[in-house]
Amino acid sequence: MTTLQAYRFAPDAHDIQAAALSRHAGAARFAFNRGLARVQAALAQRDAEKTSSVACAELTPVPWALPALRREWNWAKATAAPWWAECSKEAYSAGLDQLAGRPKHFGDSRSGKRRGRRAGFPRFTKRGKSRDSFRYTTGSHGPDGDRHVKLPRIGRVKVHEPMAALTGRPADGTARLLGATVSRTAGRWFVAFTVEVDREVPTGPSRRQRKARTAGVDLGVKHLAVLSTGEMIPNPKHLAASLRRLCTASRAYARSKPASAGRRRRAARLACIHARVASQRRDGLHRLTSRLATTHDAIVVEDLHVAGMVRNRRLARAVADTAMAEVRRQLGYKTGWYGCRLVVADRWYPSSRTCSGCGGRNPSLTLSDRMFVCPSCGLVIDRDVNAAVNLRSLVAASMSETVNARGGDQKTPLAGQVAVKREPGTAPAGKTGGASPQGEAA
């Protein structure tokens, strides 16, 4: 199995190297802003030609493609940036690459040709207000031993931790280095290597003894995840644990004088707290998803509408702290790595309101009810465990949806039912009209 994988390390750069890294990030930002100015000028010229009474044979071309942006930059760099030779050419190419295609995406989003969240027109970036980053795709870059990386025009930079996980793969021919992205987060520099890796997907039982062949996973706020085996993984609530320090740092930043040295120090303190919370959350989610993918043969999760859940003012902070969408994303590729199968249940499948014992429904269940009581068979069970058991039953019910499928146009069968294929235009067996119970909201 050939896949793309990233290895991220933190360089331990001294003052001269840190200044060179900042200079390269500034070069990428300069190329981005200059290219955006050229695009805006070309768009304004096209609008003037369209509204002019004099007919034009050809309208002014807009250089929003990467080859056009590079040609224009190479033609004008000697006069626009006489200092361009101080930085690697890859820094300027990285800034132009960030800009390429964005105006077209904006136009396609406005006309409805581009799906997803509506894209806005690109804006000029400013030092201290935008993320500092640049990328190497050519040149002599990559690991240099186990504790150093080499970057063009910057030199040999030491890293904080050993890179044996990365250096061992190119040596035995199972990986190929494609590029390196250097970025700064909360005052710390990071270098991420993009590697094309040949992974061996296990076909049989792995070295670890798998606990269960299939597991239903119900994500929530009270517990980070509840498994169909009854295991409840607690929610660490990293944001809530750091909320007091975060409020104090935010208040100090808001009260500081704009454009002052104190404001920069308080901004750095605030960024460090945010970065620490994000790192804690990322580490916990990686541990959880890796354990699930390596100890099960099939995992069933729900297709949650997280963007709609965060619109609830009372639940927005708690939902954002759990990072449910990140769990789904990590399971999407880790299940392929470890020979596991990911099944995504339909968004409208009533897993919480369906009895895992008899398949009956309890439509009166509310969010405040933490126990599920079946009105038919009298089963009393935790609502999250009941939902996880119902999700696990979908694999036995011949669920046809597999890895990374969205399932927006198909309904998930209830527990004990089997999805049967039928001819287009015909009604389901036993149904002559009316709405299907699977279409009701959970």
Which residues are known to be catalytic?
218, 302, 384
Q: Cα separation of 339 and 204, whole Å?
A: 8
Handedness of CA 44, 48, 51, 56 (dihedral sign): negative
DSSP per position, 148-213:
EEEETTTEEEEBSS--HHHHHHHHHTSEEEEEEEEEEETTEEEEEEEEEEE-----S--SSPPSEE
396 φ, ψ to 5°?
A: -70, -20
- Cβ 292 vs Cβ 336: under 8 Å: no
C-alpha–C-alpha distance, residues 411 and 122, integer Å: 39
Sign of CA dihedral 158, 159, 160, 165: negative
| DSSP type of residue 424 | T
- 13/184 Cα distance (integer angstroms): 12
What's the CA gap between 195 and 291, in Å, rounded?
23
Tokens of 230: 């009854």
Judged by DSSP in three states, 291 sits in helix
Nearest to 107 by CA among 123, 91, 120, 126: 120
**438 DSSP 8-state letter:** G
Q: Which two tokens stand for residue 101?
A: 């295609």
Do 56 and 49 contact (CB within 8 A), yes or no? yes
Instruction: Give CA separation, 270 vs 125, 250, 258, 284, 321, in Å.
Output: 21, 7, 15, 22, 17
Nearest to 343 by CA among 283, 285, 288, 296: 296
DSSP string, 110-147: HHT-S-SSPPPPP----TTTS--EEEE-SSS-EE-SSS
Map tokens 């970025």 to a residue.
Answer: 183
Cα atoms in the 13 Å half-sphere on the side-chain side of 3: 13
Quote the tokens at residue 157.
């930079």
